[in-house]
Amino acid sequence: MTDAAPARSLTLQAPAKINLFLHVVGRRADGYHLLQSVFQLIDLADTLHFDLRTDGQIVLAEPLPGVAPEDDLCIRAARLLERAANRPLTGVTIRVEKRIPMGGGLGGGSSDAATTLLALNHLWQLGFKRAQLAELGLQLGADVPFFIGGGNAWVEGIGEQLTPLQLPRRRFLVVHPGVGVATPAVFKAPDLTRTTPSVIISDFVRAASASELFGRNDLQPVAERLEPAVKFAAQALPGSRMSGSGACVFAAFDCEAAANAALQGLRERNALPAQARMWVVSSLDQYPAAALA
């Protein structure tokens, strides 16, 4: 009996995250910021298709609007892995069905990059361990190691120090105000608070069972100043908070009915501009592609 032929194609969901809180506790000499955050996976996901080729080319089937193929994080992840492998490979065609809004603070690009590293490590049979892929991923974005880590986490450093965390099952209403926010502009702002005192994980865990959100997002006042539509969305959704560097804001609910009622309320009050988008999503415990490494 012979072994089954190695897989030649894979289709994977690449889910988004929200930051339940995000504190800026310092700054490194290279300008990157030291954070404390809890990253929560949610079931709003891009779908990624990988098909091995025979000509060694790395091809993006359909470029995303406004993103040159060479800048696409899936292509950059594939090339990075190819360089790390340091041997001739078969190539791949990658097709992305995009659902996670870009410039939304939901980590869509980083999740696509993480799933690409995990999928191609498997399809190309490279045998890199998860920790090695996370190290490569950090070159593509500070959020990539979190997705490769595979589950919800307490996150420190610039995003690469991960402590696994069990989080309660919840629903979230996520609102995208219809405009994106550029992450570098938020982090560069002179008025960004960079000295929030460090907290310890048990402070968060104690508060996590309460209905109110723990801490705050230090990036939110800056994003709201740069893009007033973010402030408008945050004010329209009671108890909400911004995710990442924006532009999305979210509120947490114990059940789907309550989240749907909040969404209906926003619609009926005509509280948001026409270009705003909304999703009721569920918390996720595991990152699908992480099972491959």
Footprint on residues 34-63 left by ligand C5P (CB under 6 A): 35
List the catalytic residue out of 46, 72, 112, 143: 143
**Which residues are 27's β-sheet partners?**
33
Q: How far apart are CA 222 and CA 187, in angstroms?
A: 9
Residues 6+ apart with CB under 8 A from 37: 19, 20, 21, 22, 23, 154, 155, 156, 159
Query: Quick one: which segment of 60-68, 170-178, 181-189, 221-229 binds ligand C5P (CB under 6 A)?
Result: 181-189
Q: How far apart are CA 206 and CA 284, in angstroms?
A: 21
Among 46, 72, 112, 143, binds ligand C5P (CB under 6 A): 143
Position 33 contacts ligand C5P (CB under 6 A): yes
Least CB distance to ligand C5P at residue 267 (A): 32
Position 184 contacts ligand C5P (CB under 6 A): yes
Q: Does residue 46 have an active-site annotation?
A: no
Q: At residue 111, what are phi and psi to the nearest 5 degrees?
A: -65, -40
Query: Quick one: which segment of 29-37, 91-99, 212-220, 248-256 binds ligand C5P (CB under 6 A)?
Result: 29-37
- Exposed (0-12), middle (13-18) or buried (19+): which is 20, by Cβ within 10 Å? buried
Position 158 contacts ligand C5P (CB under 6 A): yes
Position 197 contacts ligand C5P (CB under 6 A): no
Least CB distance to ligand C5P at residue 143 (A): 5
Position 190 contacts ligand C5P (CB under 6 A): no
Residue 181 carries which side chain, given as an amino acid letter? Answer: V
Q: How far apart are CA 148 and CA 162, in angstroms?
A: 11
Find tokens 């508060």 and name the residue: 207
Q: Does residue 129 have an active-site annotation?
A: no
Among 52, 102, 132, 187, binds ligand C5P (CB under 6 A): 187
Residues in the annotated binding site for ATP? 101-111
Question: Would you list which residues are annotated within the binding site?
Answer: 101-111
Q: Which residues are catalytic?
A: 17, 143
